Amino acid sequence: MDFTWKRVIILVLAMFVSLIVAKFVLKFFDNTKANLSTRKIIGSTQDKVSISEYILKLLSRLSFNKEETKNNLIKAGIHNDVFSQVYYLIKIVPTVISLFVVLFLYFTGEVKLVNCFIYFSITMVFCLIVPDMYISMRSKNNISHISGRLPFLLDLMNICVHTGMTLEASLEYLAGELKMVDTSLAFVVKKTSERSKIIGLDKALGEFSDLVPTNEARSFVMTLTQSLKYGSSVGPVLASLASDIREINMLQLEEKIGKMGAKMSIPMIVFIMVPIVILIAAPGIMRMLG
């Protein structure tokens, strides 16, 4: 009787999930059919659509929080559009599969309820929490790396400005040249250059500070914005700002070096002082016990 009830519950759950999946599949095909009809009426400007573009368009319908996910991945230094489309699928699909596996094992009596809860909790941690933690950690490292390379960018912009190039032209030129040196910095500069052609350099610099939310990047954006607003000379300002950022980075490095002594004292106490105390006290304790 108990086994019959378990089979009924499994069938009900399977029916419920199949209805949800069928709803999303029908909605997906309706949208695809509407797009195809629109393309037939209006006419496509492209003769052929590549397989990669078709797959990317297909995956974009199955993704969630597209802009937020894409921005987070860009901050982490991941610039692949396909990965940004399938990021949530990579998290959700293994979680759902593990849920069905755990429920199947529980209702067949092979695993206890407590063990099922433990297995599913571990799966949720690895599939839902760990990827976000990795992206967040990588974002911090990438932002810190780009912020540390800003003096290098400022020196190159200063050279370009002294040769007679405008800020927009210097950003466009450096976006191509920096690919051989630093791909993350080159991508941010390229994105800023492309956005400046659409919304203007002032707003594009604001988006640059959003991609690199550090004090050095804000100083860089504020300096260029004020130079554009008041028409002051940009070259000396860029050189001065690069020197200031280098001094700040040097002070931060000296601060980290100063903290190393205090941090190294804990391993010294644990791994050196404690064994020495044990070696000194052990013979006397052994004599007392003997």
Contact by Cβ (8 Å): 76, 139? yes
Residues 6+ apart with CB under 8 A from 131: 87, 90, 91
Tokens 């203007």 label which residue?
Answer: 200
CA-CA distance, 148 to 24, in Å (whole number)? 46
Q: Is 187 helix (H, G, I), strand (E, B) or coil?
A: helix
User: Letter for the amino acid at 39?
Assistant: R
Q: What is the pLDDT of residue 52?
A: 53
Contact by Cβ (8 Å): 88, 65? yes
Angle at Cα 145 formed by Cα 144 and Cα 151, nearest 5°?
A: 100
Q: What is the pLDDT of residue 65?
A: 63
- Other residues' Cβ atoms within 10 Å of the Cβ of residue 171: 24
Q: What is the pLDDT of residue 8?
A: 63
Angle at Cα 247 formed by Cα 241 and Cα 253, nearest 5°?
A: 140
Q: What is the pLDDT of residue 4?
A: 61
Contact by Cβ (8 Å): 167, 201? yes
DSSP state of 47: S
Q: What is the pLDDT of residue 100?
A: 81
Q: What is the pLDDT of residue 32?
A: 59
* Tens-binned pLDDT, residue by residue, of the chain (290 aa): 445 666 666 666 666 666 666 566 556 556 655 665 665 565 544 445 455 555 555 555 555 567 777 778 888 878 777 777 777 778 888 888 888 888 878 777 777 878 888 888 888 888 888 888 888 898 888 888 888 888 888 888 888 888 888 888 888 888 888 888 888 888 888 888 888 888 888 888 888 888 888 888 888 888 888 877 777 778 788 888 888 888 888 888 888 888 887 777 777 777 777 778 778 887 888 888 86
Q: How far is CA 197 from CA 163, 165, 167, 190, 201, in A?
A: 21, 16, 12, 11, 7
Task: Give, for 19, the enclosing helix (H) or strand (E).
Answer: helix 2-42
Angle at Cα 225 formed by Cα 222 and Cα 226, nearest 5°?
A: 85
Q: What is the CA radius of gyration of the chain?
A: 29
Locate the domains of the chain by residue range: 2-139, 149-248
Say how far residue 68 (Cα) sits from the centre of its chain: 10
CA atoms within 13 A on the CB side of 77: 17
Q: If you count them, how many residues does the chain have?
A: 290
Q: What is the pLDDT of residue 213?
A: 85
Predicted TM-score (pTM) of the model is 0.67
CA-CA distance, 73 to 83, in Å (whole number)? 9
CA-CA distance, 103 to 115, in Å (whole number)? 11
User: Letter for the amino acid at 94?
Assistant: P
